[in-house]
Amino acid sequence: MKEKLAKLKVGKIVYNETMKKHTTYKIGGEVACLIYPSDIQELTRLIKYIKENNIKYKVIGNGSNLIFTDEFYDGIIIKLNEFNNLDINDTIITVGAGYSIMKLAHKVANYGLTGLEFAAGIPGTVGGAVYMNAGAYNTDMGYIVSEILVLTPDLEVKKMYNKDLAYHYRDSFLQKNPGYICLEATIVLKKGKPEAIKEVMEDRKQRRLLTQPLEYPSAGSVFRNPINDYAGRLIEEIGYKGKSIGGAKVSEKHANFIINTGNASFNDVKSLINEIKKEILEKYNIEIKIEQEFVE
């Protein structure tokens, strides 16, 4: 595989890389191959090779929503960090899938553009945010994404519009159709005052510092909030706030966060999540949905 990939010219290749470096949980074993394509042509060649050879693969952003296996991942992980173009034309933003959504939120604030403040504390990429329909403060990507550029499972590059993306709470067409890869997004914002926008972002930053365990590795909210309720409240009600399994612990600051206290394993986090799901189902008959993704 090494020789074939080198000849194909599919981007920067790193072999036997530990995924601890590439997930915000700081959990994960080695992966056979990590590749950074530099453009659409390289990515297309890579996906074509992967499919022809039936190789396991996954496209990831900043790994801010992933719980990665500690076992050897015998496949290819693709990161689109090089897809980082940015064009700001009045209120219309065209941005590559690998661009940091947090960095973008701060950048557009300087231009006096409002609508992306919610993303100032989300440590993911634009592509990841589009895929997850990331959001906070009662808004999300579905409100601001007008269209995206994708690579389809048939290796065609095409546009998909907001109406095609089936955006719902933390859900999208892309999640149900993982063969589609987001390459670029067009985001439409509104004009505002830079000082007022930055004030909102600073206020929310201070609130996050007070209410979220940002000093520990985690992947943010573990569960989606059920309709008319909060996952954190349910977790507290079943007595799991502060509960630990190995190095994984339900945060005492915010019960919908599981933190890595230093040496958490994939199984520690998975076991804690599954216990919480089971207890909430038994006590409240609520099938609570996981917002994070296991990669095995």
Catalogue the active-site residues.
Answer: 170, 221, 291
- The token pair that represents 262 in the structure block: 């230093």
**Distances 98 to 82, 130, 178, 191 between C-alpha atoms, Å:** 6, 11, 17, 25
Query: Are 284 and 265 within 8 A, CB to CB?
Result: no
- Three-state DSSP class for residue 213: coil
Where does residue 105 rank: exposed (0-12), middle (13-18), buried (19+ CB within 10 A)?
buried
Q: Report how far Cα 162 is from the mean position of its chain's Cα atoms.
A: 19
- The span from the CA of 201 to the CA of 263, in Å, is 32
Query: Are 263 and 244 within 8 A, CB to CB?
Result: no
CB proximity list for 87: less than 8 A, separation 6 or greater: 93, 94, 95
Measuring CA to CA, which residue among 128, 129, 109, 111 is closest to residue 203? 109
DSSP state of 292: S
Angle at which helices 101-110 and 194-211 pack, to 10 degrees? Answer: 150
Dihedral angle, C-alpha 110, 195, 169, 244, nearest 10 °? 100
DSSP state of 289: P
Phi, psi dihedrals of residue 206, rounded to the nearest 5°? -65, -40
